Structure 1
Amino acid sequence: MDNILITNKEVGTFEQREDGVYLAIFPNSKDEISFEDVRKEIIRKGVVNSDFNVIRKIWEQSSGEPVKIADYFERYDTLKDKYIDIAISDNEMEAYLTLGVPEGLAEITVNDVLYKLLEYGVEMGINEKEIKRLLEAGQPARKAIVARGRPVQNGKDSNVKVLIDMDKSAKPLITEDGSVDFRNINMIKIVDKDQLLAVKEPCSQGEAGYTVTGRITEPRAGEDYPLPRGKNTYLAEDGLQLFASIIGNVFYEQDVLNVENVYVVKGNVDFSTGNISYPGDVVINGDVKSDFSVHTEGNIIVRGTVEAAELVSTSGNIDVKKGIIGTQTEKKAKIVAGGSVKALFIQEGVVSAGKDIEVGSYILNSQIHAEHDVMAIRDRGMIAGSNVFSGSCVRAKNVGSISDTKTQIKVGKIVKGDIEFKNKQLDEELEVLKEEDKLLRKRLDFLELLKKRLPHFPQEKEQELADLLDKIKKLEKIKETVVADKADFESKFIDQFGVERKIFVLQTLWPGALVGINEAVKKVESRQRRVMAVLEENQVEFKRLSLKEATGGRSDMEDDEDEEGEGS
């Protein structure tokens, strides 16, 4: 047994036994001896066939227990030195073997070359197969590469990929015939609940590099960039996928993806936004310009005016802060709400509500249909030149006008004319939906044809194709709702049990107006003041309201009765 001495201090043992060669490093000696010291000591002893991977583990563990490092003790023959030459590149990334062919000596073995490599400090990246090939060739070799280092591989940064096309630049719809529809420009990005929004490839730690001499270069770990998680989104358990937690509009804000069931238009609905079709609530901070439409299943709030445009809310309310004003031609404003409609005024409009319709100032030259109440009791509170139907009650300050404009107010049961009016509204709504569906399907056919013909279909077109399919699916649901409404309209609204139908005129009811309750209709022959129209024995009768009944004690509803007489 030989002791291993480093600076005259015993740090381990080197022993040849019957079954092989053993090495031990004493406990606590690792701090006093480097692996390079151990390697040099083994080479000094001339051992050719030692396994330096095993020797490194022995040094790292320093247990003091002898561990086998070779099957037998083979010493290097120094006479072979003149036939084996090792060189190392300046950057220590390659080691070269120059090989001669010995004469009259034992052959050079792979272990001989390995020994010389280790003697020169080459311990990593050694290509034993190449060494064997060179020796078996039996020919001299000059500076053959027999060891290579490995460059450090720094870690890759995480890669976040957003799966939704977030390009919100205006893209007009190009139809099959090549024409351009600037009102349908696909500005809203709608996602479903639990829809995958983004994925992340995690960062990597990289891979350490080394030189042939065993110098290690640690890698720089990749940067970990988070998924852009915003409002109403959630991460998968592994943190590598981002999903929408609600159905709604997806948008970037402060570098994160947010999903909101409220879609906000900062300005007007016009050529800059195109038509809007959205499943949630819509807030428009400007106006809705003529010939544009807003379709939704939720509420619609317009902070400006609605021109000769179309607003449809299948199950929500519509609130127009500055009024509805169509044109005197056939281009009237069309408003349909499953809930209630509120507006500062309605002029040249066709308005239908599943609940109430309330205006702040007046209803003029319009067609109004409310399944519950119609109210015009603030400011002027006027209804003139209009056809108004209510399922239960109408309240207005003034009905008709001094110029005898045609005005009709009806409450109660739906009669033939009312059914025709409502059906006409539903037909018009259905026609608009069908036309929108037709345009979408034309575009779909065009894109599918393009996909078949192009060898490489652009990613943005692929996304547009997916968006179109989603829109068509949602449009079909809306169409089904309208068709169902049309089918059961008459049976649904023929009567409302327990509701007493009345018409309240809190200031003036002008001659020429038609007032109807259920099937009974009465033409106003003379000016009436503060009256309530009721049904008595299937006849419409007017009853006088007291000032208190007319105003309800409200200061904004002063009685402006003049000196003229009143009819009865």
Structure 2
Amino acid sequence: MKKYIIKGTNEEEIIKKVANHFNVPIDFVKYEIVNREKTFFGKTKELTLKIWIEKTVIDVDEVESIIVEKEKEVEIKEKIEKKEKFNIEILKSGIFITIQENFESNSSNERLIIKELERREIKDPNLENVKKALYEKKGEKVKIAEYDKSYYIDALLRIELRKDNMEAVIVAYPPHRGNHISKDQIMTLLAENSILYGVDKNIIDEIVENRIYDKEIIVARGKPSEKGKNAEIITLFDTSSEIKIKKDESGKANLRDLNLIINVTKGEKLVQKIFATNGIKGKNVLGVEIIPEPGNDKKIFVGKNTSLTENEEFLIADIDGQLVDVNGNISVQPLYTVSGNVDYSVGNIEFNGSVHILGRVLEGFIIKAKGDVIIEEIVEDAIIETEGNVKVKQGILGKEDLKGYIKAEGNVEAKFIQYSKIDSGGIVEAIENILHSDINAKNDIICIKGRGKIIGGSLIAGKNIVTKYVGTEFGILTELTVGALPDIIEKNKLIDEELRKITKEKERTDTEADNLRMQEIQGKLDPKYRNLLLNLTKKKFEINKKIVELRNEKNILVNALNEGRKGKIHVFNELYPGAVIKIGENQLITKEIFRFSTFFFDNDKKEISTLPCELNE
């Protein structure tokens, strides 16, 4: 096998030239790169190839395909070259030639034209007219032969609609001596068949330019309709039953905060419906609209204590309570029930409705509710806050430090209360005992149905305290205050403390300002202290104004405390020495046993007095 060394700058051009030289398909040319010289910028300066011709035995169809492709390339090249020089048109009115002005008039070009006429198989050409066109009538269309419709057969087209008129397919059949397929011919055929939509003009150009025959080609595609989206129901809360322990800023987690309850408020959105859509219209190649299939609708399940908005887009809560999700069906429950104890398996409770604990509340846990809180067993040293009532059926048992507390806007009821701090906006009632506890009640404190003992601690009631026993024979300090609301007493104490502080500040300010004022009168004031004197004078004015405001507020509170002198303490059995009785701002420290007595403020004597118990047990 003979091999050749050839140099050049472009690998592809070298291979083409070799294939043309030996008149073989490019696939027969084999080579290897011997050397590649590059410029400073990395471009190829000179390429040295070792080349040989290898006539490999390949599939006949493959060879034929290569040859056909080669012939097509040559034909297109010649067509372009000839179009630049002369153009032959086959029309119904005859065969015409047009020669360009820049095409030289000589015998060589005359032979070239005749050769092309022979190749095109032009029937009975008038060679005289060909010469006139070349030598005398350049740029003009000159008739050189007659048209014979049985002789000149143009390319033919077949068109077919498929897939419910969503596709238009054409097949072009090659001409016999006649004209090749044209774009106008295809477009006319499409128009005659009312194919108006989705026509691919790029494909049509490719068919014409590459003369693609005997092949089905899609030249127009419709736009399918798009089915509408189905309606979706979206729950706007995380209803999973997973424990959600939160961490504070330091990264510390409170294992009592499990966040198992989903609280919702009246009017809050619980579920949203994303409405089904109608879909998007389509269009077939005939321009006919295709109506889409609408999406499937889906209804929102309306659970207990919920309702739909007017447009049915949202499900909202009709009450405050707990959101409950049962297999996607949402409801709101006004009562949250714990079947056992409030411990680490349940965690702290924060609920918008009422809470029912069937067990006990362990130490350190917190319950916050907007409704009532009912506990079947004991409350240990825990925290309970509610806008309703609290009922503890087995009692409240805290610790001496009183860290746990109960704060209720309504009543608080328990079998017993021990080492507890309670703040009630209503009545506090213990069946058996109230021991060593701090209790504030807006209305009454009652301990009379069972043993009825109040021992130790501090009890404040806005109206009355009713009990059987107060204190013990050992003189345990027990403070009972009635007739003034706890917040009024506390506020009065705070104002007294603030008045004491501001009065001392007034004394200091007055002394400093008076000294500087005296120096100013005597002309001895250092100029650098003038601003200080000005500031002290301004401060005296502000302090005096504040004192007036506090005294006015103090007077209002004193009036309220005086009104509270109507409160009474009723003792059905015995009140032991060591008990401190307060009614309004008046106080009585008992040094003897009082039996079956009612303590009240005697307006005539201006002191706390007693009389036989006014109430029946």
Structure-1-length-normalised TM-score: 0.58
What is the aligned partner in structure 1 of residue 434 from structure 2?
A: 363
CA deviation profile, 1:425-463 (whole Å, cap 9, x unmatched): xxxxxxxxxxxxxxxxxxxxxxxxxxxxxxxxxxxxxxx
Q: Percent identity?
A: 29
Letter in 1 for 2:611: K
What is the aligned partner in structure 2 of residue 389 from structure 1?
A: 460
How far apart, in 1, do the equivalents of 2:191 and 2:459 lie?
103
How far apart, in 1, do the equivalents of 2:345 and 2:440 lie?
32
How far apart, in 2, do the equivalents of 1:422 and 1:270 lie?
39
**C-alpha displacement at 1:374, in angstroms?**
0.8
What is the aligned partner in structure 2 of residue 257 from structure 1?
A: 330
Question: Is the CA contact (8 Å cut-off) linking 1:170 and 1:272 kept in structure 2?
Answer: no
What is the aligned partner in structure 1 of residue 412 from structure 2?
A: 341
What is the aligned partner in structure 2 of residue 319 from structure 1?
A: 391
What is the aligned partner in structure 1 of residue 383 from structure 2?
A: 310
Q: 1:321 to 1:488 in 2, by over 3 A?
A: farther
SS at match of 1:198: strand
The answer to whether residue 235 in structure 2 is matched with residue 162 in structure 1 is: yes
Q: 1:105 to 1:280 in 2, by over 3 A?
A: same
Question: Is the CA contact (8 Å cut-off) linking 1:101 and 1:138 kept in structure 2?
Answer: no
How far apart, in 1, do the equivalents of 2:189 and 2:462 lie?
105
The answer to whether residue 598 in structure 2 is matched with residue 532 in structure 1 is: yes
Larger Rg belongs to: 2
Point out where structure 1 has 5 or more consecutive residues left out of the alignment: 1-76, 424-486, 552-568
- Say which of 535, 540, 543 aligns to 2:611: 543
CA deviation profile, 1:143-167 (whole Å, cap 9, x unmatched): 2223447767554321222233333
How far apart, in 1, do the equivalents of 2:204 and 2:369 lie?
77
SS at match of 1:505: strand
The answer to whether residue 570 in structure 2 is matched with residue 504 in structure 1 is: yes
**C-alpha displacement at 1:216, in angstroms?**
12
The answer to whether residue 195 in structure 2 is matched with residue 127 in structure 1 is: no
CA deviation profile, 1:4-43 (whole Å, cap 9, x unmatched): xxxxxxxxxxxxxxxxxxxxxxxxxxxxxxxxxxxxxxxx
What is the aligned partner in structure 2 of residue 70 from structure 1?
A: none
How far apart, in 1, do the equivalents of 2:487 and 2:171 lie?
109
Question: Is the CA contact (8 Å cut-off) linking 2:488 and 2:557 kept in structure 1?
Answer: no
Q: Which sits farther off after the overlay, 509-518 or 374-383?
A: 509-518
**C-alpha displacement at 1:277, in angstroms?**
4.1
Q: 1:521 to 1:189 in 2, by over 3 A?
A: same
Bigger relative contact order (CA 8 A; separation at least 6): 1
**C-alpha displacement at 1:370, in angstroms?**
1.8
**C-alpha displacement at 1:338, in angstroms?**
3.1
What is the aligned partner in structure 1 of residue 127 from structure 2?
A: none
What is the aligned partner in structure 2 of residue 378 from structure 1?
A: 449
Point out where structure 2 has 5 or more consecutive residues left out of the alignment: 1-149, 495-552
What is the aligned partner in structure 2 of residue 491 from structure 1?
A: 557
The answer to whether residue 595 in structure 2 is matched with residue 523 in structure 1 is: no
RMSD (Å) for aligned C-alpha atoms = 4.6
How far apart, in 2, do the equivalents of 1:107 and 1:225 lie?
59
Q: Which sits farther off after the overlay, 200-209 or 181-190?
A: 200-209
SS at match of 1:372: coil
SS at match of 2:298: coil
Question: Is the CA contact (8 Å cut-off) linking 2:464 and 2:567 kept in structure 1?
Answer: yes
CA deviation profile, 1:342-396 (whole Å, cap 9, x unmatched): 2222111011223321122221121222232111121222212332222221111
How far apart, in 2, do the equivalents of 1:113 and 1:496 lie?
109
How far apart, in 1, do the equivalents of 2:280 and 2:587 lie?
90
Q: Map 1:147-226 to 2 at 5 A.
A: 147-148=220-221, 153-191=226-264, 194-205=267-278, 221-226=294-299
Question: Is the CA contact (8 Å cut-off) linking 1:163 and 1:197 kept in structure 2?
Answer: yes
How far apart, in 1, do the equivalents of 2:573 and 2:338 lie?
40
What is the aligned partner in structure 1 of residue 514 from structure 2?
A: none
How far apart, in 2, do the equivalents of 1:525 and 1:244 lie?
60
How far apart, in 1, do the equivalents of 2:342 and 2:555 lie?
31
Q: Which sits farther off after the overlay, 165-174 or 253-262?
A: 253-262
Letter in 1 for 2:612: R
How far apart, in 1, do the equivalents of 2:263 and 2:370 lie?
13
How far apart, in 2, do the equivalents of 1:185 and 1:262 lie?
19
Question: Is the CA contact (8 Å cut-off) linking 1:100 and 1:139 kept in structure 2?
Answer: no
Q: 1:87 to 1:516 in 2, by over 3 A?
A: closer
Structure-2-length-normalised TM-score: 0.54
Question: Is the CA contact (8 Å cut-off) linking 2:155 and 2:176 kept in structure 1?
Answer: no
CA deviation profile, 1:328-348 (whole Å, cap 9, x unmatched): x42553122233322222111
How far apart, in 2, do the equivalents of 1:422 and 1:166 lie?
49
The number of aligned residues is 405
Q: Map 1:52-451 to 2 at 5 A.
A: 83-85=156-158, 96-105=169-178, 127=199, 129=201, 132-134=204-206, 136-137=208-209, 139-141=211-213, 142-148=215-221, 153-191=226-264, 194-205=267-278, 221-244=294-317, 249-253=322-326, 255-259=328-332, 264-278=337-351, 281-296=354-369, 298-313=371-386, 315-327=387-399, 329-402=400-473, 404-413=475-484, 419=490
How far apart, in 1, do the equivalents of 2:208 and 2:272 lie?
53
Letter in 1 for 2:588: V
Letter in 1 for 2:424: A
How far apart, in 2, do the equivalents of 1:279 and 1:133 lie?
73
SS at match of 1:137: helix
How far apart, in 2, do the equivalents of 1:112 and 1:136 lie?
10
Question: Is the CA contact (8 Å cut-off) linking 1:392 and 1:499 kept in structure 2?
Answer: no
How far apart, in 2, do the equivalents of 1:188 and 1:501 lie?
42
CA deviation profile, 1:217-236 (whole Å, cap 9, x unmatched): 99765332223543454444
